[in-house]
Amino acid sequence: HQQLFEKHLVLLRDGRTLIGYLRSIDQFANLVFHQTVERIHVGKKFGDIPRGIFIVRGENVVLLGEIDMDKPCDTVLQQVSIEEILEEQRLQQQAKQETEKVKMQVLKDRGLSIPKADNLDEY
């Protein structure tokens, strides 16, 4: 039987997940994605944001894989609308920031300070 086109999933260094048709790749792993969708996961929910055409610079790619369309999809994930997922994400970020703040405060009280690794590239 005919195979449909395989979508690819790429995980970027900043944590974004893109799904789309991989049209082109080069020696640096620069990618050209077509009909891309950014998938945001929060907890058990996820939302897809259509993004169009993406050109990803190779150095930002963490991993790239083909999505097997034929495999049965038995995830527990539940798809929600874009607004909802963005809202969820915002809440998640907020919560994280709160805990981070609390932690920093506690550390400060004890006279310790752990520098935040804002930029993952720093060695």
Q: E strands, 1-123, where?
A: 7-12, 17-25, 31-42, 45-56, 61-67, 78-79
- Output the smallest distance, CB 39 to other proteins, in A: 9
Q: Which CB atom, from 67 or from 107, has the smaller least distance to other proteins?
A: 67
Closest among 9, 21, 28 to 53, alpha carbons compared? 21
Q: Which CB atom, from 68 or from 100, has the smaller least distance to other proteins?
A: 68
* 50 sits near other proteins (criterion: CB under 8 A): yes
Give the dihedral of Cα atoms 120, 36, 40, 104; nearest 10 deg. Answer: 20
Q: Which CB atom, from 65 or from 96, has the smaller least distance to other proteins?
A: 65
Is residue 35 classed exposed, middle or buried when 0-12, 13-18 and 19+ CB atoms within 10 A define those classes?
middle
Binding residue (CB under 8 A) for other proteins from 15, 43, 44, 53: 53
- Output the smallest distance, CB 78 to other proteins, in A: 15
The amino acid at residue 14 is: D
Q: Which CB atom, from 34 or from 45, has the smaller least distance to other proteins?
A: 34
Task: State the residues that interact with other proteins by CB under 8 A.
Answer: 1-2, 4-5, 21, 23-27, 32, 34-35, 37, 48-50, 52-53
